[in-house]
Each structure stands twice: as structure tokens, then as C-alpha cells.
Structure 1
């Protein structure tokens, strides 16, 4: 019966992940995978048997499930869409911590068994250390990422940081190989030291990362947690835990590679802990003046356009303006204007942030164009309305070799006939650099809170 439950749980994970690839079935896919996980947990609690003994301590298990379930439910219910990336990062860190704790518990069991004369399996010991290191790095790194996303932790770099990180990693691996190979003397002190070094490495791995690179880091740490969970599945010979960990690890790794391509960055730089760190920018240059456009004039421009492309960014999320944006879209389409959305793969603070934001406002998925599709349509677009996006539309990524984001693929909005950028002010974006787009002749600035501006545009267009 338990084998059948584990098989069912594994299948629901695979089916749920497949359904997540389409917005029309994503919510149902999430529910399917959650149902499989619930079934696997209940099956383990009530049916798992080892050496003729079932699990005990049902009171502690139930208390843990209730406390964790209530905290998770309330956190997910109350979180704002703008805070979703840091919540995802924090929850991912909890998964890494659990995987590391499994390794701690199993190592203690092995020490007791070894003291009783039982020979230790080298492969199992290797898996314990893999789960410990990867889980601890994921936990510490995710906590730092959470702090950086909510603004409490700043980017920190220092000379020789790469060498320091590589040295930490090398010491962890050497100590792990020594403990695995040496067995007697089987010491817990080295194990504790490896755990501490893993936590320190996780901190310094993420500390220098900044700018628009954070989505890649979240994806990479997510894959780490999946691999660490798979190690737990190996230790307990638990197929559903193994399957879930492998799915998360492989999906996170693939997404990390896709994000790196979208940012034109090297995965090698991610692994040595320098990804997206502070770059030495080029010399400051005179940009000239920018021009503003009023809400009334912008309303006329939109009302009489044939094709409008909207580029959502973090500013849209901060203002919670997705519903007002959808209302503007519906109003324009009622007047015969074609409206589409251009989605950069790393817009926002995590992969898919803009897709989730617009799906919350019931924007049809077919109207969301990926970067390559959108770039092919800008030259036939009358007006591009940029809502809070900055670095992902900065032409310096293509034209200025001295720019920190040089080489990053961008949404080529400057190819449209007219570009209007909505921002609160002229402050630079998340990458901390000025945007050349704002000073181009065909660009106009529309200052103000995105939600308030969109509501005003809707009111103005309705009167035309």
C-alpha cells in the first residue's frame, strides 16, 4: 500500500509540474502536486515500517505539521505580490534547512551504529555530506537573498572574494572526503565544522550578488534545495522524496541556465559567487534633457494608436497596478487598438514574476509575448508604454561596453515609433545605473505612481 501511495505521489509531482507550464492549468497543477504530497506524508506517518516498527511520537509530528501548516498558510495568504520573491526565497531556504537537518540526524545515527560495531556504508556517508553541504548553502544563501530582496541587506564585496569562496568550498570538500575515507576516528567535530563552513559559504556566495541578477540566484538556490532533498530520498529509500527532489533540482537547473542566457552571463560566475556583483561602471556622460508628457496627451496618443505594447516591471508590482493595467487594455481594445504585453524573462525579482502578476488580473496568456516575440514586433508598434521596468529596456546593454549590463539581452523598445516610460522619478533601477532610453528623442516620461497614472489614463480615454 505504501509503495502504491509513493508511486501515486511521484506521478502527481510529474503531472503537476507539466500543468504548471501552462497558465490555464497552473493552479490546478499546483493543487494536484499538493494533493500528492499530502498523500505521501500521511502514508509515511501511518504506514511506514522499519525493522518491524512504525513511526512513534505522533504528538510531536502532528504539532509540527500544524504549526508549520498554519505559518505557511497565513504567510502565503497575506503576502503582497511585490513581496512574493522574498517569500519564495525564504520558503526555499526552509527546504534547504530541512535537508541539512536530515543529514545531521543521520550522521548521529551512523556514529552510534559505528560505536556499536556496525560498518558504515561509504555511499550513504557521501550522501549525508552532500545533503549537509548543499542544504546548508541553500539555507544560508536563501536567507541572504531574502534580506537583499526586502532591502535589509546590501551588496557586499571585497578584494579576493572569489579566492575566498573557492577556498571555502575546497576546504569543505577536502574535510568531507577525509571523514568519509577515514571513518575511524569518526569525529563529529569535523562534521560540525563542515556544517559551519557551508553556512558561511552560503552567506558569502550570495552577498555580492545584486542588480537584475537576483532571479537567477533564486532559481539556482531552488535547484540546490531540490538536490539536497533528493539526497534525503536516497538515505531513506523514499521514492516520492527522491522524485520530488530530482524534479525540483532539474527544473531549477534548467531555469537557471535559461536565466543566464537571458542575462548573457556565465554559469561559472554564479558557481564562484560573483554573479551580478558590483561592476566598475564606465565614466559618467552628459545625457541631455528628457521630456515629459501629460496624462491628457498620453490618453490621446493611446486612443488613436493602432498597436500598443505594454512592458511591465517591478514598478507595476509595487503599485499593485495590474488590475488598472488590464482595465486600460480592455478600454483600448474596445476602441479597436491592438494591445500586447512584452515580458522580459528576468523582469521583476524572480522568474515569471510579471506573468504571475498579470495572471492575477486575468490578462489572457496569449497576449503575453516573450522577449524574442516582442522584439520582432516593436518596429510595427505605435506606442510602447513602459510601466516600472528599467534595466530590461536600457539600450546601454547593447551599445555601451562600459556598462555593467552590457551584453544582456533587452526588450528593444526604442524600435517603436514612440516610447512612454512611467516612473516615480528619474532614479536608476535595481542595477543602479542610468537608463539611456529616457533621453532619446522618441521617449517621453510620464511620472507618478503606476496605478494612479493608469487610472487617470482610463478616465481620460473614456472621455475622448
Structure 2
């Protein structure tokens, strides 16, 4: 849906003045009846398919159908946008417009294919953050283009259009730098810990108030004047700085929520751009992305016992980046081996697997699926417990397990398994850390109040981990030192494969 919002934007930006040249309604006959134009019908069909795609992607069983619906809708949107661009501005020339569209499609296709081939599932969160940023940048560029080359509709709307331009550029600027910084944090290029400036909330408020004053001046001043351009430019700089400042103060534990919020921002930036260039489909898709991203962010904040305000204000994790405790402070950890884990699994009646980002890094989902099939073949009840923010993107673990052909009915949400861990014989924690951290139930902890999988209630817990290092939130995990927890160190894929061989 995000891409669906971007492509019409790129086609219309070839010639913003083309917008009013073609009416979405064409005459049907002399009686006075009118019928929608083919472009309007195509936009309606694409919008419906995008809605069906969003609905389909909300469930495992319908995700493939949702993707297909989105792809078909995207194809229709592209065809309609190209057709409209080729016919709506005779003055520019069909050949010139066609060449520009072909260049845009070619460059975009090459970049997309290269990224698709290089980016692994572990890099998907930062790729999505980058795409959000590109949507924001596109909104900024189209805003400047629309202001420098106003069409007849823009001149008719006057101050309303100027407000659209200003808000579109502002939201786009915030989205661009915020998304890029989030991607750098997720990729480890920038420290994940919060970096806060003195009086950061006052700085954010000052930036918003300054932008509001600049918007009023931008609308009141003569359009195209040097002073008006200066207001737009100064606001753009403020927006770019604000986006970076907001994300800079947010810790790694909140990055999945930040990516979702930036996705929502990119949708609203696209919607504003749709108003700028008079494109109905861009308005619809932008609103869909913006609202769905906002709702997803709300659900994620609920899952983490956080609020939008607390996430955006940042400062999460500043007290949690501590070193592993010395022996005797938290206790000693118990290290196990492959043979002992294999025997425990063979003796178990019920096993729950809780995956995390480490499983994605090790590409361990395939041997995990094989282990699941083997245990079920021996009569063991095996299910998966998925935390809402496991990994670094909502649904990250679900996609990996589906990719490995794990049956959908075995993949349960946190609420479905959390009250039954006391009946579980063995829990395999594979690459998870913060989502199974009992420190969340301790007042004063940086992650206090965050719902977690209560794996420590099981009879035995086996943690597949490379080392005793803290998780992405930088908070030490007391689970590793509990009496019923055993640590199995090593690469998750290799250790799971070793367990499988020991069970054969």
C-alpha cells in the first residue's frame, strides 16, 4: 500500500499542471447522464483492492490473498496513472512524458530488484524504515514542485492549497530524517541507546510553534515572494531537525513502534501530496497507510504497556544498559549441552518454542520447523508463543515461521499461551531476550510494565543464545540465572540442527 501511494505521486510530479485537464467524469449521452471515466473507475477498483489487501494481511491464512490483492491494485493504479499522465498535458508532449515515465519505472525497478536480492529478512525492518523515509522525501520534493509551478486548481484554492503544501512538506521532512535515523539505529550504524539533549521536550515544542508561525506567514505573504520561499525553506530545515531529534531520543526497545509510527507519518505525507496534485487515489491510499500505521502503533504500544506520548518523548532504556552481573549478585547460570536438551525434549509431553530476533539472524527457522515436525511425530504437543513485538518488526516471527512451512494453528499469540506455561514441560527460547525478561515485572526496571512471555513458569527452560549479552533494549535478563533455566550457547541454527541429530 505504501508503494501504491508513491507511484501515482511520481507520475503526477512529472507535470503538476496536468491535474485539472482531465475530468474524472465523462459525458455519457445527450440526455445529461454521466458516467465515471475509466481513470476514476480504475482508482475505485485499486482503492478497494488496497483495502482488501490490508484486511487480508491481518491473518496468516489470508496473507497470500492479501498480497495478491495489493499487487493487482498496484498494477491497476500504475496503468491508470500512466494513462492519465500521457493524455492530460498535450502541451508537454506525449513522447516526453512517456520517456520520463519510462525512466522513473526503469530506475525504480532496478533499485527494487537489487534491494530485494540483497536484503535478508533480518534487514527488512530497516528497509521498511528507509522506504518510509523515501516517501517523506518525495512529499517534500513534490511540495516544492507544486508551489513553484501552481496549476489552475491550486490558484483557485489559494490559501487552502498553500496550507496543503506547507503541511505536506513539514510531515514529509519529519518522516524523512526520522525514518533514516531509525534505519541506522536498527542496522547498528548508530547507537541504539537514547541520545537526549537538555530540555528536549521544550525544543520539540519550540519547533512546532515556530513551524505554526511560519505557516501563517507563508499563507499570508504573496505567493512566490522571497519571504514566502524563506518561510518554506526555514520550516523544512526545522522539520528535518525535528524528525532526527525525535528518533534520536528513542531507545532500541521502542524502535519497532517508531518504524510503525513513521509508516503512519509517510501515509499522511502522501495524503497531503494527493491534495497538492489533485490525485484522489493518492489521497485514499495515503489515508489508508496513515490510519493503519497509527492503529498498528497503538496496538504495539499496548503490547509494550507504552503510550504514543511516552514513545515519542523518548528516553527509554537509559537505565538498562548494564553489564552482566558478577557471580553471586544475580546467581550463576547453568550451561547445558545438546544431548541433555535432546533427552529433555524426548521425555516431554508439551513443548513451547518462543522465537526472537536471534532466530532470524541465524536463519534457524528451517531446522526449528524440522524439529517441530519430528517432535509432533513422536506425540509431543508443540506450539509457538509469539510476543507482539518479537523481532524488530510486527509479524517478523510469523513471517519466518510461515516461510519454513510451520502450520498456522501452531503459532499462538502471547495471550493464548501466557496462562498455560505452568503446564509446559520444556520451553525453548530461541534467540529471544527482552520479550521473555522477568525484569518487566519488577518496579523500577526500564521495561517495567511491558507484557512478556512468562516462560519461567514452565518446568524447564532452555535458552539458545550466542552469549550472555543483554538484548536490544540493553536490559539484563534474570531469566538466565533461574534454577530451571539452562543455557545452550552457540549459533541457533547449528545448535538446533545438532539437537535434531541427537534425537535421530
For normalisation by structure 2, the TM-score amounts to 0.86
Decide which moves more: 42-51 or 358-367: 42-51
Specify the alignment match of 1:242 in structure 2: 283
In structure 2, do the counterparts of structure 1 residues 386 and 426 end up closer, same or farther at CA, with 3 Å as the change threshold?
same
In structure 2, do the counterparts of structure 1 residues 281 and 455 end up closer, same or farther at CA, with 3 Å as the change threshold?
closer
Mapped to 2, the partners of 1:211 and 1:51 lie a distance apart of 48
- Per-residue displacement from partner, 1:20-79 (whole Å, max 9, x unpaired)? 112233133223212212221221222345577686532122111111111112212331
**What secondary structure is seen at the aligned counterpart in 1 of 2:432?**
coil
Mapped to 2, the partners of 1:138 and 1:280 lie a distance apart of 28
For the pair 1:227 / 2:268, whether they are aligned, the reply is yes
Give the count of matched residue pairs. Answer: 457
In structure 2, do the counterparts of structure 1 residues 280 and 461 end up closer, same or farther at CA, with 3 Å as the change threshold?
closer
Mapped to 2, the partners of 1:372 and 1:424 lie a distance apart of 28
How much does 1:339 deviate? 0.6
**What secondary structure is seen at the aligned counterpart in 2 of 1:57?**
helix
The within-5 A match list for 1:16-415 is 16-48=53-85, 50=88, 56-110=96-150, 121-154=158-191, 155=193, 156-183=195-222, 187-271=228-312, 273-274=313-314, 276=316, 278-279=318-319, 286-398=329-441, 400-415=442-457
Q: Check conservation: 1:209, 1:278, Cα contact below 8 A.
A: no
Specify the alignment match of 2:500 in structure 1: 458
Alignment RMSD: 2.2
**What secondary structure is seen at the aligned counterpart in 1 of 2:429?**
strand
**What secondary structure is seen at the aligned counterpart in 2 of 1:187?**
helix
Structure 1 residues not aligned, in runs of 5+? none
In structure 2, do the counterparts of structure 1 residues 108 and 26 end up closer, same or farther at CA, with 3 Å as the change threshold?
same
- Per-residue displacement from partner, 1:218-272 (whole Å, max 9, x unpaired)? 000000001111112222332221111111111100000011111111211234x
How much does 1:280 deviate? 6.6
In structure 2, do the counterparts of structure 1 residues 50 and 277 end up closer, same or farther at CA, with 3 Å as the change threshold?
farther
Q: Check conservation: 2:322, 2:475, Cα contact below 8 A.
A: no
Decide which moves more: 335-344 or 130-139: 130-139
Mapped to 2, the partners of 1:165 and 1:279 lie a distance apart of 23
Decide which moves more: 138-147 or 180-189: 180-189
Decide which moves more: 356-365 or 185-194: 185-194
- Per-residue displacement from partner, 1:436-463 (whole Å, max 9, x unpaired)? 111111111111110001001101111x
For the pair 1:4 / 2:45, whether they are aligned, the reply is no
How much does 1:171 deviate? 1.4
Q: Check conservation: 1:281, 1:402, Cα contact below 8 A.
A: no
**What secondary structure is seen at the aligned counterpart in 2 of 1:197?**
helix
Mapped to 2, the partners of 1:380 and 1:362 lie a distance apart of 26
How much does 1:347 deviate? 0.9
How much does 1:408 deviate? 0.6
Mapped to 1, the partners of 2:311 and 2:229 lie a distance apart of 31
- Per-residue displacement from partner, 1:73-94 (whole Å, max 9, x unpaired)? 2212331111111111111211
Mapped to 1, the partners of 2:64 and 2:308 lie a distance apart of 31
How much does 1:192 deviate? 1.0
**What secondary structure is seen at the aligned counterpart in 2 of 1:402?**
coil
